[in-house]
Amino acid sequence: MATVSTSATPADVRKRGLINGAAAFGWWGFVFPLLLLATQARLKAIGYLGTSGANGLDWSLEFLCQRTIWALVFCLVLLAWLGRWNEAGDLLGSRRSVTFLSATALLLALNWIGFVYGAATERLSHASLGYYINPLFSVALGVVVLGEHLRRLQMIAIALATMGVAWETFRLGHLPWISLIVAGGFGLYGLFRKQIRATAIGGLTVETLALLPIAAAYLAWREFAGPTLAFGSDTVVTVLLILSGAATAAPLIWFANAAKQLPLSTVAFLQFVVPTGQLLMAVTLNGESLRTAALVSFAFIWAGVVAFLYDIRLATRREAPEGGAVLTEY
């Protein structure tokens, strides 16, 4: 639950927020891609993708399902350990909450599959581009769906991002669909999540529970009639798939705390660690190269990001609260 801390100084809270934020975004940007790429490297080393009959999409769908199941297990263990069953129980008792969280579960799965498939097909850089676009897409959603008004720098940022996507479409000869799935899935996820009050652990528990029947059905089909499952084919791969559950849930908890302890401008800046880390991983570990034409797309997006961050910085200075209590999650 959330309580008001009267003993912690603003500097202490900001320090904790920076630690939580760096942990969350650093994890999403570097550690999780590393776990995914390490799993894929192991699969290649044991010849799984060449002999099992599974292709990149099969592997991506299995990873999504395994991640869902093990994230649910991790959340249930964590709720039991913390004695916070009510966080999931209250949500499950509300039809509105279940409806919204079932929708966000599907959107989260869409985002995950775009990211994993991008890595599996040596297009992790495309997923990275999607995460650069995502905050700008979220601002656009706020205008279209929630009737929010754009400030001038926000309009410039969205225009630059649109030009980046347009150039990438021209360069590829088709829409950069991996980037758009990643950005669209997570942007809509954020929009739907705003409609309901749910903690990181409680919300993720219900979301993974909603996805469980789909994940179990797909894995059962793979076990009896489809390509051989990666899970159980090798000890290292199996352990890494199990760890994907904790690797999914832990950064969400850190992020929830950081969002309460840091100014919006700082959170907005830190979130771009994620696509930057993924882009570095794509180039250094996933055998991808960025040609000049591709860098033009990123240049437009990066320019939009700079305008976006500068706008938030100005807005935060104008709206900075005059002191007050500090909200902290326990």
What is the distance of C-alpha 272 from the center of its chain? 12
Nearest to 113 by CA among 213, 185, 49, 51: 185
What gap in Å lies between CA 127 and CA 133, rounded to an integer? 10
pLDDT at position 242 is: 96
- Distance CA(255)–CA(314), nearest Å, equals 23
Tell me the C-alpha distance between 123 and 115, whole Å: 9
Cβ proximity of 239 and 136 under 8 Å: no
Q: Quick one: pLDDT at residue 213?
A: 97
What is residue 7's predicted lDDT score, i.e. its pLDDT? 61
Mark the ranges of the chain whose per-residue pLDDT is less than 50.
Answer: 1-5, 322-330
